[in-house]
Amino acid sequence: MPRACKIIIVPEDSEHANLARGYFAGRDVSPGGYQVTRNWTGKNGNFDRVRDWLVEEIRFQARGLVRFGVLALIDEDGQGLSVRRQNVINHLTSLGLPTLDPSQGRLLVLPVRNVETWMVWGARWAAAGKPTSPNATTPAFPNVDETHDYKRWQARDGKSLSRESRLDAYQLGRTIATLNRVSPPNGLPPALQAILHPLSDFLDWARV
């Protein structure tokens, strides 16, 4: 697919990077249309580090020498979705930089509690036959709990969770690309449902 600009992906770790790759594949964006930064150390990144890398990319973007979009993916990690987002906005504002705006090529994705929450949802949804109805009175599978830590299999009260399947992050990205953002399926995690429109707006900007 022809592109008007490059997309820079700033992920917390390899799982977030693979989710983004899968999403773009599902939306027919060729690997040549994006670049994944590999600044993370070890398996996991760090919120402050990823935030700072995101801010730097937006600083370069604001210079206007080359048109490119910036997509960052950082776990909420139980800190609060609005708190995480406002932290990034405050840093951008303090530096006099443009704020987050998917329709202008600047998007922050914050899986709640972490990307593994979405991976567990993806596995449950697939096992249930991928039901697409937004109007079912009860979901065809158990809802994920965004306060649980499905990465460490720990419930919000500190007790251990039973381990279960998690959908591969790349396949999860491809799955997200197929979801109807106007009428998403029942049982979708709220934070995932909330990002469907911004993701589409971001790609619309990149394709102009």
Token pair 């840093």 in the structure block, residue? 91
Mean local confidence (pLDDT), 164-191 = 96
Q: How far apart are CA 118 and CA 126, in angstroms?
A: 12
pTM, entire model: 0.92
Q: What percent of the chain has pLDDT over 70?
A: 92
- What does the mean pLDDT of the chain come to? 92
Q: In the structure, what pLDDT confidence band is assigned to residue 1 with cuts at 50, 70 and 90?
A: very low
Per-state percent for the chain, helix, strand, coil, to nearest 5? 45, 10, 45
Instruction: Note whether 54 and 91 are within 8 A (CB).
Output: no
Mean local confidence (pLDDT), 80-86 = 97
Q: In the structure, what pLDDT confidence band is assigned to residue 104 with cuts at 50, 70 and 90?
A: very high
- CA dihedral (191, 192, 197, 200) in degrees, to 10, reads 140
